[in-house]
Structure 1
Amino acid sequence: MLTPWWRDRTPEQRHREAGGSTLATRILDWQHPRVRALVNTARSAADGEGAAALLRAAHRLIADLVRPAYSVDDARPVSSVLARGRGSCSQRLAILEAVARSSGTATRVRGLVVDGRFWYPRFPRLRILVPDAVLLAWPQFRIDERWVDSSELFGTLAVLAARSAPGFTNDGGETLFDALPRTALDWDGRTSELGTCSACDLSARVLVDLGFFDSRDLLFREQGQTLSLVARIVVEPVLGRWRP
């Protein structure tokens, strides 16, 4: 009832690669005036230093303008999230994607099915309500002819891991979105291989890597969201206003 249990979330060959896009979508409605205004502000803050600098500036603006909240509607258009002034980690990442596409930088997402126990520290008394698995749309950006993962917008994993203490714990007020400038968010186990920050290695939390999708709209259309429609309707009015 809570999750779309009927979905067969297994990797498919066709999603081993994706070309990404700069097109507006239902979620990434970057043609909306609210999004364009954010892009213009970020562009001024970046002072013409390139796509990566623009996205870093946009990240800081989003962190200031959109407070974190436990919203469960991953398909909410980013213009609506900006209007509400609050959003989930997924929704805030979507805004960052919209900024990228609006400025001509292609984006795609990696579909990661993450163990629900990863979120237990946030809900110590409500663990029974935490889904067994959470579907995460993790963005990548086409910068200088290569795909740059969200985890490396503020530096390489090695650099971020070296200055991280204690890594991301998924506890307290810091969300995955907020942690991007501070620490390495490593879904592939690369930091453990480097011997830099074992606490930064989140690969054990990944249950299924669904591969790459041209848009988060496509990912959620094919795989559904973390919660079923009925569950989203029931819990969104409450969780959507509850902040970490």
Structure 2
Amino acid sequence: MIKNFSLVFILLVMFSMAKANDNWDSCITDRINATVIIGYMSNPEGSNPAYKFPVPSGQKQFEMEVDLATHSSVFQNHVITIRLSDLGEDIGCVKFRRNAFTTQTPPTQPPTPTLTPTPPPPHPTPTPPPPPPPPRQDHTFWIQNKLVRGTISQVAARYDDKGDWNWWTRPGAFAYGSKTAHKGYSLGIPASVSSYWMVFGVVESTEQDKWRGPFDNTQDYCYHYHGSEDDWDVYPCP
């Protein structure tokens, strides 16, 4: 009896641990496995190649590469991540909910037919045509933001020095930076800087209320690209 009880207890503990990995409540406390989305921007000449951090199995993220000569952005379906302990900053846990380039609407399962036959209607109703497929959303990516006390509309950029933060950005994406040198992508980065960090989600932002106002961090928000380098927005995900 005791042996059977011990086996059940072990199974329950293992089940709880497996569930905890998917629970956002464990995102801060489980600092070994908690990760934050980091895009590493490297010099196009390759003098400072992008670091490759270990990627948790099944986690979908992306890398944003920036050509510092033109400040143009290239989104790639690559995988980059860094552990919170390596980052050295307690900025919460921000993870991608969907992959921007592979998001597909899951097929709906047909209802289970009942055994009782349904009598036909007196006048058959023609079947309406199926709705058109939704537009492709290559530039829409979804971010889970439950545990970040700031908002994902704030994007922080910094140099390689972990203590040197540079708040060049505006809500939605770094396309809201200074527009004097290039359409939406000039962040005022000196030519001598070969690389810098882009962090999605911060603990708090004193500028946030002035830019867009507070967000409810209990729900998901989306960055959305509207087709122009200058045209980004942040909104609650549908």
Tell whether the structures are fold-level matches, with TM greater than 0.5. no
Q: Whose strand proportion is higher, 1 or 2? A: 2
TM norm structure 2:
0.27
Kindly name which structure, 1 or 2, has the bigger radius of gyration based on alpha carbons.
2
Which protein has the bigger helix share?
A: 1
Q: TM-score, normalised by structure 1?
A: 0.27
